[in-house]
Amino acid sequence: MALEFTGVTKTFTLPDGKDLTAVRDINFTVGQGEFVSVVGPSGCGKSTILSMTAGLYQPTSGAVRVSGEVVTKPNPHVGFMLQKDLLLPWRTIIKNVEFGLESRGVPKAERRERALFELDRCHLKGFEDHYPYQLSGGMRQRAALARTLAIDPAIILLDEPFSALDAQTKLLIQNSFAETIQEAGITTLLITHDLSEAVIMSDRVLVLSERPGTVMREIPIDLPDRAHPLKRRQMPEIHQHASEIFTLLRLDQRAA
């Protein structure tokens, strides 16, 4: 398995000395090349799951394994993308894509070759010498994806990467990301509040309960064209899956 959570609980100690359990007894696996989304109420521990996968902190109990190895520290084989692209404004796009490789001591010629390849794959050929301020929001997110892919991660973690985009750009970037990630064959874990997004992009959706979060349901999305979310969006099954998740999360009751 590319990723495995076994009996994972994470408890934080607050400044007042009280304990807060973010997630409890989390169990799930993600296969090689699989795309899995995690949805749930605000504060249910979705980002905690990503942070433990990346090794930013450790479970209080249980184990997180990436490629069969227990995660005990920040993992260089995990790529992390946040809501903001976090491109360095003083570096050109290609220099931004090279940044992770440069910090790992990859020789200049090799990192340039890999950066050019990923920019081409992310449909940014010709923008190598532009600066971040010269790119649209969607192009900046594609540049951030190219930077993530350049380090050749075993897993990509996506924390609401499309939430800051306008509706039309969001649809196009979802499609671009899906195509690129499937072509690269990289295992992906997406955190999102957008139920339709979770369904159209995923092989499976994990639905978490309120805090302390635990996996209430795993919903398989057994539909074709995962690499083309725009096509999937037209399928009636998408709305059925989204409605099932909506009901599990009791969103109608919360709205009332």
Q: Kindly report the CA angle at 145 between 221 and 23, in degrees rounded to 5?
A: 55
Residue-wise pLDDT for 126-184, tens only, equals 999 999 999 998 899 899 999 999 988 989 999 998 887 888 888 888 998 899 899 88
Residue of 208 and 184 predicted with greater confidence:
208
178 within 8 A of 143, measured Cβ to Cβ: no
* pLDDT value, residue 255: 43
Q: pTM value? A: 0.90
Domains of the chain, residue spans: 3-77+155-255, 87-152
Residue of 34 and 138 predicted with greater confidence:
34
CATH superfamily assigned to domain 3-77+155-255? P-loop containing nucleotide triphosphate hydrolases (3.40.50.300)
* pLDDT value, residue 251: 57
* pLDDT value, residue 169: 86
Q: What is the DSSP letter of 43?
A: T
Taking 60 as the threshold, does the pLDDT of residue 252 lie above it?
Answer: no
64 within 8 A of 231, measured Cβ to Cβ: no
Residue-wise pLDDT for 56-87, tens only, equals 999 999 999 999 999 999 988 899 888 788 89
